[in-house]
Amino acid sequence: MRPPSTPPSPALLLQDGQDPRTRAAAARALDARSLRAVFMDLVGRPPRRAEAQEWLGRGRGELLDDLLGSEEFWAHWWHEQLYYFLLIDNFRPRTRAAKEVPTKLAEGRLHYRDALHQAALTPTFDLRNPGADTFVTVVMEQFCGVVVQDRASELEIGKVAYEGGKGRFLGTTAENQADVIRICVEHRDASRHFLAREHQRLLRRDLERKQLRKDAGRLHRDPWAYLALVREWLLSEAYDERLAALVPKSNSLFVRCLFVDLLDRLPEDDELEPMRNALDGLADSRPLRSVVVRLLLESGRAAVPAKAAIEDPTRWIGQQFPRFLGREATPEELRVFVTAFHEEGCEPSTILYALLSHSEYQSY
């Protein structure tokens, strides 16, 4: 294992040993759709207006060099991991150590496995999973992907260790609750399970079994390899295929996108969490998402131009499609929207509401 102070730089990962297809993907110019998708996948938000101007037309590899390993990348990654462990709302870790995790990851003082270990050691993880049976079951399942019904004897040994007894748990001697966590975090199956769920999170598809074994072995030997693997995934044909089809936004991502697209900033936790909770509580969140759009447009905080200030409605409307949907408007869409714009009672906010409440904005 490399010393924590010397993690690999993502900027070095485009050098020797790369095949022509990967080099071509790295050099491929970012259009509005791929630019928005890469930002959402890696930092959990679309690009801000200045960033869109800066990156549009540049190579995907350059953007990966800029985002991968940044503090914002790790902050989003940490947010996603806490959500996976259901350490949200009242169970969100609020200790100084937990808040410093993204900074330490960005500075190379922690690698991903250290961070996951720290998540399991937080008091709120213990509160979320009270008692030996629940705690050991959750740790085995969430870290190692173990189906505890198939490993009942291991579960019983883990419970004994949780209570302070001694036993051989997943091939290693365990004597306490901390041992149970450490053994699961460091287990080979944990590397495989982590990569499988990260690939599914980022590419929305399962990693092919043979490749998963290979990548998991690499990661298990060297936890600093995580960023390199993510970079390879996002320069792969599989990611090109993922970009070719829209995938649904989570409720959290939808709210974050809406704030950036309309206010050019991310929501604060006390803005995000109530909205996300309300949306998560519904089997179909789409109607309430439309209400959230309207509330934000009518809040007075969104930069919506006055109708009289728009000298060229066709041009202005045409600019909103790549801005929000990542594509150009079709001639028919442009005709319909421009016609509606000129009708009495139609305001620029009406046009924006139509785009942001459309089913296409629910995906990316």
pLDDT, one tens digit per residue, over 34-92 is 999 999 999 999 999 999 999 999 999 999 999 999 999 999 999 999 999 999 999 99
Structure tokens at 125: 């993880």
Residue 209 sits in the same domain as residue 307: no
Residue 321 sits in the same domain as residue 234: no
The confidence band for 24, taking pLDDT boundaries of 50, 70 and 90, is confident
How many residues are listed for the chain in this entry?
364
The confidence band for 22, taking pLDDT boundaries of 50, 70 and 90, is confident
Residue 266 included in any domain: yes
- Check whether 4 has a pLDDT greater than 90: no
- Full domain range(s) for residue 58: 10-68+190-243
Mean pLDDT of the chain: 93
Residue 272 sits in the same domain as residue 317: yes
- Check whether 8 has a pLDDT greater than 80: no
Q: Which amino acid is at 251?
A: N
- Check whether 197 has a pLDDT greater than 70: yes
Number of domains in the chain: 2
Q: What is the pTM of this model?
A: 0.90
From the list 169, 168, 121, the residue with the least C-alpha distance to 144 is 169
Residue 164 included in any domain: no
Residue 314 sits in the same domain as residue 349: yes
Identify the residue whose tokens are 């630019």.
35
Burial of 245 (0-12, 13-18, 19+ CB in 10 A): exposed
From the list 169, 204, 195, 196, the residue with the least C-alpha distance to 183 is 169
The confidence band for 361, taking pLDDT boundaries of 50, 70 and 90, is very high
Residue 223 sits in the same domain as residue 265: no
CATH number at residue 306: 1.10.3130
Q: Regarding beta strands 167-169 and 172-174, do their DSSP bridges make them parallel or antiparallel, or are they unpaired?
A: antiparallel
Tell me which of 243, 277, 304 is where a domain ends.
243
Residue 23, pLDDT score: 86
Residue 181 included in any domain: no
pLDDT digits (tens, 9 = 90+) for 98-115: 999 999 999 999 999 999
Compute the distance between CA of residue 223 and CA of residue 241 in angstroms, rounded to an integer. Answer: 27
Tell me which of 226, 243, 260 is where a domain ends.
243
Compute the distance between CA of residue 104 and CA of residue 108 in angstroms, rounded to an integer. Answer: 6
pLDDT digits (tens, 9 = 90+) for 294-345: 999 999 999 899 999 999 999 999 999 999 999 999 999 999 999 999 999 9
Residue 176 included in any domain: no
Identify the residue whose tokens are 């259009």.
31
324-331, long-range: CB < 8 A, 24+ apart: 324/261, 324/352, 324/355, 324/356, 324/361, 325/355, 325/358, 325/360, 325/361, 326/31, 326/32, 326/33, 326/34, 326/35, 326/36, 326/37, 326/364, 327/32, 327/33
Residue 292, pLDDT score: 96
Using DSSP's 3-state secondary structure scheme, residue 342 falls into coil
Angle of CA points 255, 260, 266, to nearest 5°? 70
pLDDT digits (tens, 9 = 90+) for 153-166: 999 999 999 999 99
Using DSSP's 3-state secondary structure scheme, residue 250 falls into coil
The span from the first CA to the last CA of the chain, in angstroms, equals 37
Residue 211 sits in the same domain as residue 311: no
Q: Is-contact 59 29, C-beta < 8 A? A: yes
Residue 255 sits in the same domain as residue 352: yes
Compute the distance between CA of residue 112 and CA of residue 227 in angstroms, rounded to an integer. Answer: 9
Q: Is-contact 106 70, C-beta < 8 A? A: yes
For the CA atoms of the chain, what is the radius of gyration? 23
Identify the residue whose tokens are 């549009």.
56
- Check whether 1 has a pLDDT greater than 50: no
User: Around Cβ 130, how many Cβ atoms within 10 Å?
Assistant: 9
Residue 138 included in any domain: no
Q: Name the β-bridge partners of 363.
A: 248
pLDDT digits (tens, 9 = 90+) for 124-174: 999 999 999 999 999 999 999 999 999 999 999 999 999 999 999 999 999
Residue 305 sits in the same domain as residue 256: yes
Compute the distance between CA of residue 4 and CA of residue 174 in angstroms, rounded to an integer. Answer: 26
From the list 267, 195, 245, the residue with the least C-alpha distance to 364 is 245
Residue 101 included in any domain: no
Residue 7, pLDDT score: 57
From the list 2, 11, 56, 1, the residue with the least C-alpha distance to 34 is 56
Residue 267 sits in the same domain as residue 223: no
Q: Would you tell me the crossing angle of helices 112-121 and 188-203 to the nearest 10 degrees? A: 100
Residue 261 included in any domain: yes
Compute the distance between CA of residue 181 and CA of residue 317 in angstroms, rounded to an integer. Answer: 54
Q: Which residues contact 234 (CB under 8 A, 6 or more apart)?
A: 38, 41, 42, 60, 64, 202
The C-alpha torsion from 27 through 29 and 33 to 34, rounded to 10°, is 10
Residue 323 sits in the same domain as residue 341: yes
Q: Would you tell me the crossing angle of helices 188-203 and 209-221 to the nearest 10 degrees? A: 120
Residue 210 included in any domain: yes
Tell me which of 224, 243, 262 is where a domain ends.
243
Residue 136, pLDDT score: 98
Structure tokens at 259: 């704030």
Residue 230 sits in the same domain as residue 282: no
Residue 213 sits in the same domain as residue 344: no
